[in-house]
A and B are shown apart, each in its own frame.
Chain A
């Protein structure tokens, strides 16, 4: 049996998924990216191989994706746009629109009837509307990042957050805190502000069902709720949504390997 590894090197986390020749997930691993990108990539692949219980030599192809893809030892580099589309289709074959909210950028991807990427848009110059924005705001609210979403669901009167700039947004949050606003209402206001920004990004590529969320922020129930309210549509969210980019990379390696062998 030959296996195929996909490595998604994001700004916050590096993910690895290993699939077999049938495209089934065999193992996976997640490590913090840190400052040494190539070290993170090597260690996450080693961890995935170790948990899969097979020899490294059985890896037939490794595909790297994510912002650090050029720094990884891999057979191919493929952009996260293509990889997230491939991974989303694997989990939800009816997917036509993918939203990936990552640590440092957000991507909206349109997929055609044959699974091909037909259009995409990225917010690539500003941290507003990304995982990093939520991380900074959680710190300002002294709330654990994983608790921010559930907390926002308790809101009864969301606060308005008008600034999209991470730095000014943090100042606005601190101002709300100083004025005695309820933390849950501030948290909801933050998620709504991001959702309005992200909704604009998705509309640039055109919204078509089914919609699938990928990336670590998809685990945030408050973000999903605010987005579904903004767009008037629901998202597919797989329990392994954070692995979709790495999965797509592994599947692209597998597809290419099997095609070449034929």
Chain B
């Protein structure tokens, strides 16, 4: 695959950051006086609040590590990212964080927030942004706006600074810019002629956006998107498919590489959808209410009841728009929110005559052979 100057620069920067996120955090803190790093599971959290405090939102990604110590705190039947991030919290890897803001996406996230609060309060503040699950209620946005004020005040108190509403508006502009750049990148990479940007590279680029400060990451992405013709990678062969069901974690790169090596080309994906799917927030007016409204208007996902946006309709639209010939549900093992939805979603794709396959994964699983066989067989079936 040919790589243009901008694409190569972007990918190299993102690779460096994702290879060692905490090295980036250390570097950012060293050049940012009073800079605070706030960890989060990489689904939706109100990053505007963190930016408003001059902070760095840091996606917590777990990793392919032995979780011997974490297993003493957490049951084996919880998802691997909960156990591996807890291992990192125990072994000191996350010591550079000043706070961790959990989203209430599942029972495991709520459980681990409590465990961390109990065990690591001396290291960092542990809080939860209590997002509403029903988004079709008139009370959802006001409730969330009040919750955002509370979170802002709690983080500010921990950091010893004032919670200034005026600082939230420029933070909204920055967060909007980040989401719009990532959305534009996803559209760009899905277009004919450019969709060869392989899944591993796309995951690296999007993942880096959850670790780097938006003020450093977005210009790199915008530079690429401003020069699409010169930097367009060649289209790779393979049967076009949509990838969905990832929630807040990723398998390792070798696992993601199985898609291309199995003859599949991912033209539509849910990579970090929780992060990039929120609608742009208004800059005028009450900034907390504006962030809350943008969340309420975001895409349908697991654990969110829209009423007006059905998740399966959204998925089918995306599959058709991108010309995907099938759907791969790539679901983390023990991820309750996704497993509640995936059978229903598969039934809906079946009704729409769209073939699909369910693959489960865990961080660090070395069982790639059987997965490759299943993906190759799926490609052979739908080609």
Q: Which of A80, A120, A124 is in CB contact (< 8 Å) with B371? A: A124
Interface of chain B residues 358 through 383 with chain A (CB within 8 A)? 367, 369-371, 373-374, 376-377, 380-381
A185 beta carbon closer than 8 Å to chain B:
no
Q: Which of A67, A78, A122, A125 is in CB contact (< 8 Å) with B380? A: A78
Q: Is A80 a contact of B381 with CB atoms below 8 Å?
A: no
- Rounded to whole angstroms, the CA-CA distance of A81 and B371 in the bound complex is 13
Q: Closest chain A residue to B374 by CB distance? A: A122
* Nearest-Cβ distance from residue B257 to partner chain A, whole angstroms: 14
Q: Is B377 a contact of A81 with CB atoms below 8 Å?
A: yes
B369 / chain A contacts, CB cutoff of 8 Å = 67
The DSSP consensus for interface residues of chain B is helix
Given contacts A79-B376, A80-B377, A125-B367, 20 further A-B pairs with CB under 8 A are A67-B370, A67-B373, A78-B380, A79-B380, A80-B373, A81-B373, A81-B377, A81-B381, A82-B377, A82-B380, A82-B381, A105-B370, A117-B377, A117-B381, A120-B377, A122-B370, A122-B374, A124-B371, A124-B374, A125-B370
B377 / chain A contacts, CB cutoff of 8 Å = 79-82, 117, 120
A–B Cβ pairs within 8 angstroms, 15 of them: A67-B370, A67-B373, A79-B373, A79-B380, A80-B373, A81-B377, A82-B377, A105-B370, A116-B381, A117-B377, A120-B374, A120-B381, A124-B370, A124-B374, A125-B370
* Bitwise interface map of A from 21 to 60 toward B, beta carbon under 8 Å scored 1, else 0: 0000000000000000000000000000000000000000
* Nearest-Cβ distance from residue B371 to partner chain A, whole angstroms: 7
Q: Closest chain B residue to A82 by CB distance? A: B380
Binding site for B on A (CB under 8 A): 67, 78-82, 105, 116-118, 120, 122, 124-125
Choose among B369, B371, B373, B374 the residue with the greatest number of A CB atoms under 10 Å from its CB. B373
* Nearest-Cβ distance from residue A7 to partner chain B, whole angstroms: 16
The answer to whether residues A124 and B367 also contact, given A67-B373, A79-B373, A80-B373 and a CB cut-off of 8 A, is yes
Q: Closest chain A residue to B356 by CB distance? A: A119
B376 / chain A contacts, CB cutoff of 8 Å = 79
> 7 smallest A-B Cβ distances: which pairs?
A124-B370, A81-B377, A79-B377, A79-B376, A117-B381, A82-B380, A79-B373
Q: Is B381 a contact of A122 with CB atoms below 8 Å?
A: no
B381 / chain A contacts, CB cutoff of 8 Å = 81-82, 116-118, 120
A80 / chain B contacts, CB cutoff of 8 Å = 373, 377
* Nearest-Cβ distance from residue A124 to partner chain B, whole angstroms: 3
Q: Is B370 a contact of A81 with CB atoms below 8 Å?
A: no
- Rounded to whole angstroms, the CA-CA distance of A79 and B367 in the bound complex is 17
Q: Closest chain B residue to A109 by CB distance? A: B377
Q: Closest chain A residue to B359 by CB distance? A: A124
- Rounded to whole angstroms, the CA-CA distance of A78 and B381 in the bound complex is 11
* Nearest-Cβ distance from residue A225 to partner chain B, whole angstroms: 28
The answer to whether residues A122 and B373 also contact, given A81-B380, A82-B380, A117-B380 and a CB cut-off of 8 A, is yes
* Nearest-Cβ distance from residue A6 to partner chain B, whole angstroms: 15
* Nearest-Cβ distance from residue A1 to partner chain B, whole angstroms: 28
* Nearest-Cβ distance from residue B136 to partner chain A, whole angstroms: 34
* Nearest-Cβ distance from residue A244 to partner chain B, whole angstroms: 16
